């Protein structure tokens, strides 16, 4: 193997062969917030899975930072248990032992100068003993309110200083602020500490194989592009539904709500990828340019009348989910009985471009809904002329192309087909592509792809300042009107598909929500 400061490159590999994944070069990952669910269930297992697939360098190191009274051995056991429980790939002792050699732990508070000085010493030792080469990624798996403190400490301790050949990068979890003003402040603060090329704002939806396959489907095939416009598309529905409640996230979720938690980032990113024009290339700059163009063209409801007409918000009430009686949102531990936080949000957005003029995009997200699913449904207009008797096509719906993001990743095309028999009866049928059936290799977890991209310095799947700010410009007017109402969101029974007002919103346009 030939070592470089950025990647490990196999000299036997044909450089023109893009099928083989790149391997990260010498580096370490420092996780702030290692005691949280995200770290335990996603980050630690993803790092092990990368190691198991041979995509991490021999001297890779993992450093945890928290206030727990742990040593490196204690932290190693925490990582071990998380990997055994949540890793996607099989547990192999030899892989674990090699990974465990590079595990370290630093105890301290975020405002503790001495702890960050110790972290600097620890990383320096890893550079010498593990050969990490001064290349360190700092993963902020922490509440947004702690971002400024940690960023200032990284700056004060010299951990983010540009050392020439080596790199320092920061990974920031959502939410990126709670409105446009706070996002601008956060972007300014991050920009004072790290250059733009070293900032990776992580949106795990963009790491999912099906989301990336949306780009392949659109731009690698001639089949879809001619009809991907307002001449043929009636509307687009983007759904992210969960069948769980807030659980242990009550402290984070209450006061933020469904729109800020999901629509501002995940769903608007899916909208941008669905509606964007073909980029000049898949270079990060070209890809981001086209997404930003779409977001800047989104027309959002702003006054109270428009928000009342084109949005819906709800809050789950007690009900039955999977045969189990579940509490309502106001009955959850840590939630105020008078909370006005929405657990369901739906919005209708228009895109003022030639391609999409007149085509509504309906975005919805919610907790305690009928099932866990994320999908993009492109619903086409009815054929302008049907040379059939009305009874022949009364069971025929609209053609649709549905990209299933999770959990059953794939694509479904719905179209009309004749029912076998002597009469001309046409009804809907589905043509289905499933990742699980078409490919022998299981799709990697989104965090695997994104963490590897951070270590490789590949920014294509990470939103930059402009996209974040444009997304808040879309959502802020809606949140402002909702906030002025000071009323409880409309209740909906757990296990259903949201509040009645969401169905009314669609009915005004003569449409209905899909039932995934």
Q: What residues act catalytically?
A: 266
- Pick from 251, 258, 245, 300: nearest CA to 475: 300
Q: Token pair for residue 233?
A: 């598309």
CA separation for the pair 110, 149 (Å, rounded): 6
- Pick from 515, 211, 511: nearest CA to 369: 515
Strand order across the 199-202 sheet:
103-107, 61-66, 28-32, 136-140, 168-173, 199-202
CA separation for the pair 320, 9 (Å, rounded): 54
CA separation for the pair 145, 134 (Å, rounded): 28
Longest CA pairwise span in the chain (Å):
83
Q: Token pair for residue 195?
A: 């250059």
Long-range CB contacts (< 8 A, 24+ apart) of 445-449?
445/42, 445/45, 445/46, 445/49, 445/88, 445/207, 446/204, 446/205, 446/206, 446/207, 446/208, 447/42, 447/43, 447/46, 447/204, 447/207, 448/46, 448/49, 448/50, 448/53, 448/88, 448/207, 449/207
∠ at Cα 461 (297, 368), nearest 5°? 80
CA separation for the pair 226, 218 (Å, rounded): 10
Q: Token pair for residue 289?
A: 């340019």
CA separation for the pair 233, 359 (Å, rounded): 7
DSSP string, 306-352: HHHHHEEEEEEESEEETTEEE--GGGSTT--TT----SEEEEEEEE-
∠ at Cα 323 (318, 328), nearest 5°? 10
Backbone φ/ψ region at 152: left (φ over 0), alpha (ψ -120 to 50), beta: alpha
CB 513 within 8 A of CB 502: yes
Q: Which residue has tokens 């100068």?
A: 113
Q: Token pair for residue 213?
A: 């396959």
Is the Cα torsion angle 336, 338, 342, 344 positive or negative in sign? positive
- Pick from 246, 260, 248: nearest CA to 175: 260
- Pick from 97, 111, 27: nearest CA to 65: 111
């Amino acid at each position: 193997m030939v070592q470089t400061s950025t990647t490990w490159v196999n000299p036997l590999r044909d450089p023109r062969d893009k099928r083989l994944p790149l391997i990260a070069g010498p580096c370490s990952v420092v996780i702030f917030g290692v005691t949280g669910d995200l770290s335990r269930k996603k980050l630690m297992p993803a790092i092990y899975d990368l190691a198991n697939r041979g995509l991490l360098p021999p001297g890779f190191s993992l450093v945890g930072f928290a206030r727990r009274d742990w040593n490196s051995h204690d932290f190693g056991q925490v990582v071990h248990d998380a990997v055994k429980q949540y890793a996607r790939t099989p547990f192999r002792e030899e892989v674990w032992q090699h990974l465990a050699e590079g595990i370290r732990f630093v105890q301290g508070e975020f405002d503790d100068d001495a702890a960050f000085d110790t972290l600097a010493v620890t990383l320096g030792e890893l550079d010498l003993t593990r050969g990490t080469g001064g290349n360190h990624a700092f993963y902020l798996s922490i509440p947004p309110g702690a971002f400024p403190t940690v960023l200032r400490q990284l700056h004060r301790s010299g951990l983010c200083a540009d050392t020439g050949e080596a790199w320092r990068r920061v990974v920031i979890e959502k939410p990126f602020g709670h409105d446009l003003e706070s996002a601008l402040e956060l972007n300014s603060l991050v920009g004072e500490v790290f250059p733009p090329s070293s900032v990776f704002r992580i949106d795990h939806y963009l790491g999912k194989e099906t989301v990336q396959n949306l780009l392949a489907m659109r731009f690698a095939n001639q089949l879809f592009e001619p009809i991907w416009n307002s001449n043929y598309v009636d509307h687009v529905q983007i759904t992210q539904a969960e069948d769980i409640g807030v659980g242990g996230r009550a402290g984070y979720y209450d006061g933020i709500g469904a729109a800020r938690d999901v629509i501002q980032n995940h769903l608007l990113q899916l909208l941008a990828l669905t509606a964007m024009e073909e980029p000049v290339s898949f270079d990060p700059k070209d890809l981001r340019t086209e997404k930003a163009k779409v977001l800047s063209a989104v027309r959002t409801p702003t006054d109270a009348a428009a928000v009342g007409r084109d949005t819906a918000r709800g809050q789950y009430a007690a009900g039955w989910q999977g045969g189990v009686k579940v509490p309502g949102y106001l009955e959850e531990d840590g939630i105020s009985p008078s909370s006005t936080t929405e657990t369901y949000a739906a919005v209708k957005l228009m895109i003022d471009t030639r391609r999409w003029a007149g085509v509504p995009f309906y975005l919805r997200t919610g907790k305690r809904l009928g099932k866990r699913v994320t999908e993009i449904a492109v619903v086409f207009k009815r054929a302008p002329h049907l040379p059939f008797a009305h009874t022949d096509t009364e069971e025929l719906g609209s053609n649709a192309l549905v990209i299933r993001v999770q959990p059953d990743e794939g694509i479904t095309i719905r179209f009309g087909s004749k029912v076998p028999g002597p009469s001309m009866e046409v009804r809907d049928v589905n043509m289905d592509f499933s990742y699980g059936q078409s490919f022998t290799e299981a799709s990697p977890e989104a965090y695997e792809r994104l963490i590897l991209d951070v270590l490789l310095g590949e920014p294509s799947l990470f939103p930059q300042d402009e996209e974040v700010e444009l997304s808040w410009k879309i959502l802020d007017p809606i949140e402002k009107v909702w906030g002025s109402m000071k009323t409880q969101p409309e209740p909906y029974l757990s296990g259903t598909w949201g509040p009645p007002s969401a169905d009314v919103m669609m009915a005004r346009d003569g449409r209905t929500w899909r039932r995934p």
